[in-house]
Amino acid sequence: MPIWLTIIALFVIGFILILIEVVIIPGIGLAGILGAVSIGAACYTAFTNLSPIIGGLLSLVSIILVIILFKILPKTSAWKKTRLALTQKKQMGYQVAPKEFKTLINKTGTTLTILRPSGTALIGDKRYDVVADCEFIEKDKAIVVSEVEGIRIVVKEV
């Protein structure tokens, strides 16, 4: 087999493997690594066996094709199937922790239900879903908010 045919085969196989990695099995896995190695081997073989000019041109073509791939691929339907395009909006029911939750730290209240470990408590004049720190807390016990993580309010018995 002529060397130029080997170089073209390595080059084409490399890009096919990279496309398989990007479109079919996304991530940095075996197909992508083998594709990059194959393209690198094609460029190296062209440098050493043909001429540095051909090797340089092949490297330049590789870079240009990768740039084109990253410009065109995000517009394809295959790409849209592999990436998460959904944004989580409040209108869709997703919640972010209210800023008032951070002000609850060190505030006291009373349990309205048994906390095993979660339940309801009255802190100030509002009801909150809370979680006991590490033990069960009986109904009508005094509690204090020890920490807030997002929408999770952690309490301890006073």
More confident position, 85 or 9: 9
**pLDDT at residue 146 in the model:** 93
CA separation (Å) from 44 to 1, 38, 129, 157? 18, 10, 64, 70
Nearest residue to 104 via CA among 131, 134, 133, 124: 124
Is residue 90's pLDDT more than 70?
no
**What pTM, to 2 d.p., does this model score?**
0.48
* Pairwise pLDDT comparison (42 vs 66), residue with the higher score: 42
Domain boundaries along the sequence of the chain: 3-82, 97-157
CATH class, domain 97-157, is: mainly beta
The pLDDT confidence band at residue 78, using thresholds 50, 70 and 90, is low
More confident residue, 133 or 155: 155
